[in-house]
């Protein structure tokens, strides 16, 4: 691996602003929604910038609702709930309640790297939105991270449109919490930068672009640091999921730039890692990895090169374990075939060189 030293700049943050008054007003709006007279059914959404503060606000709102004589239930969603019947679960959870808080819907519409997820659970929720008034006799508040709201509207636009109230909480924790997160990320950076760099190389990122893409990985990691604590996977597996996304994004941007500039030469090999020497093992490995599809390349790198378990890889890449095992088998077969082809080419080249050698002179033979 090439020795590099990229300075970690940390996440970019705007100057803090006083938003406490705004958030207090949003709490009041939600409380009015929960207590106003009229039909019992109604849905609201609360978007938040900080999950810890959102939990505090939710508890405060629940206390006020209980003081007003309302029964409050909470339904917590996890990433593994992506195939559940959420409507039926809401019916069951709210059977003895006047207020239902649904927490974690953002986990079902984004993966750990922030990419949009399309799950059957959310699709079903979107399709059955018009049934809910006949099935639910409760005021429902969905608590969603602001970072996931765009993904939610992308996969369940009609569901989002039927909200009677949308509260937006802007407040984040004090600077000492931010400093703790920065310290944690800085430690991850120091310990795992070489791993990220190596993975990006294996994922086909050009050497001239490695610095920029590696920086992108850690900027995205800073944004997703809170999500990692929910996952029972190693830091390496988590970082690889982010690195894979950044590498794919980089490749797409590179192709667009090349097309726009008409810089693609039809006669030029598309592999950016063509070995400089037949015996350059690193370059040869990269050229062989270029033969794999991206999804096969991901799991082959994690399992065969970095030693990450398939279960951890499944969590990091948000792919079913059986699917990953299938991809790994295909990747291994392809790599075995490529290895055999390289060895055959080496043998043929050696034989050709031997056959072209001039005959040795016998001692004593006259010219």
* pLDDT tens digits, one per residue of 287-339: 788 888 888 888 888 888 777 788 878 877 778 889 889 998 998 888 888 88
Q: What's the confidence (pLDDT) of residue 46? A: 95
User: Two tokens at 62?
Assistant: 């629940």
Q: What's the confidence (pLDDT) of residue 275? A: 40
Q: How confident is the model at residue 361 (pLDDT cuts 50, 70, 90)?
A: low
How many CB atoms lie under 10 A from the CB of residue 91? 16
Residues 137 and 44: their CA atoms lie apart, in Å, by: 14
Residues 339 and 175: their CA atoms lie apart, in Å, by: 53
Domains and CATH numbers, the chain: 20-169 (3.40.50.300), 176-355 (no CATH)
Q: What's the confidence (pLDDT) of residue 147? A: 87
Phi and psi angles of residue 38, each rounded to the nearest 5 degrees, phi first: 120, -170
Most confident residue range from 70-84, 181-195, 256-270: 70-84
* pLDDT tens digits, one per residue of 5-48: 444 444 344 434 466 888 888 999 999 999 988 888 999 999 99
Cα 340–343–348 angle (5° rounding)? 125
Residues 49 and 169: their CA atoms lie apart, in Å, by: 6
Provide mean pLDDT across the span 236-256: 81
Q: How confident is the model at residue 251 (pLDDT cuts 50, 70, 90)?
A: confident
Q: Distance between terminal CA atoms of the chain?
A: 54
* pLDDT tens digits, one per residue of 48-73: 988 888 888 999 999 999 999 999 99
Q: What's the confidence (pLDDT) of residue 270? A: 44
pLDDT higher than 70, residue 108: yes
Comparison of pLDDT for 147 and 173, the residue scoring more: 147
Q: What's the confidence (pLDDT) of residue 180? A: 60
CA distances from 11 to 52, 186, 221 (A): 19, 10, 9
User: Two tokens at 137?
Assistant: 């006799």
Comparison of pLDDT for 114 and 154, the residue scoring more: 154
Provide mean pLDDT across the span 188-206: 86
pTM listed for this prediction: 0.52
φ/ψ bin of 184: left (φ > 0), alpha (ψ from -120 to 50), beta (otherwise): alpha
Provide mean pLDDT across the span 246-262: 69
Share of the chain above pLDDT 90, in %: 28
CA distances from 35 to 21, 30, 58, 166, 286 (A): 21, 9, 15, 16, 63
pLDDT higher than 80, residue 227: no
Residues 96 and 103: their CA atoms lie apart, in Å, by: 18
Comparison of pLDDT for 208 and 333, the residue scoring more: 333
pLDDT higher than 60, residue 158: yes
């Amino acid at each position: 691996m090439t020795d590099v030293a990229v300075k970690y700049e940390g996440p970019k943050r705007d100057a803090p602003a006083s938003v406490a008054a705004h958030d207090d007003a949003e709490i009041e709006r939600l409380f009015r929604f929960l207590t106003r007279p009229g039909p019992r059914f109604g849905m609201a959404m609360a978007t938040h910038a900080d999950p810890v503060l959102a939990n505090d606000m939710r508890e405060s709102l629940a206390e006020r609702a209980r003081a007003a004589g309302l029964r409050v239930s909470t339904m917590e969603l996890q990433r593994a709930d992506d195939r559940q019947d959420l409507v039926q679960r809401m019916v069951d959870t709210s059977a003895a309640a006047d207020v239902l808080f649904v927490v974690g819907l953002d986990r079902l519409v984004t993966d750990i790297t922030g990419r949009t997820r399309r799950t059957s659970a959310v699709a079903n929720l979107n399709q059955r939105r018009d049934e809910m008034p006949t099935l639910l006799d409760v005021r429902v508040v969905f608590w969603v991270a602001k970072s996931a709201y765009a993904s939610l509207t992308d996969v369940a636009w009609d569901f989002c449109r039927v909200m009677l109230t949308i509260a937006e909480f802007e407040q984040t924790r004090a600077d000492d919490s931010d400093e703790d997160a920065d310290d944690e990320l800085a430690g991850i950076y120091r310990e795992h930068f070489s791993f990220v760099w190596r993975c990006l190389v294996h994922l086909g990122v050009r050497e001239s672009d490695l610095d920029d893409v590696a920086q992108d990985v850690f900027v995205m990691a800073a944004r997703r640091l809170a999500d990692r604590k929910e996952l029972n996977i190693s830091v390496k597996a988590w970082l690889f999921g982010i690195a894979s996304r950044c590498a794919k994004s980089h490749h797409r941007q590179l192709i667009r730039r090349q097309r726009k500039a008409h810089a693609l030469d039809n006669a030029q090999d598309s592999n950016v890692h063509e070995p400089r020497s037949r015996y350059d093992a690193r370059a040869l490995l990269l050229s062989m990895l270029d033969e794999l599809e991206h999804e096969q390349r991901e799991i082959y790198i994690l399992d065969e090169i970095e030693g990450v378990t398939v279960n951890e890889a499944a969590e990091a890449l948000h792919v079913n374990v059986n699917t990953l095992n299938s991809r790994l088998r295909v990747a291994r077969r392809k790599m075995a075939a490529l290895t055999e082809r390289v060895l055959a080419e080496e043998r043929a080249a050696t034989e050709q060189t031997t056959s072209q050698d001039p005959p040795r002179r016998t001692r004593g033979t006259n010219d």
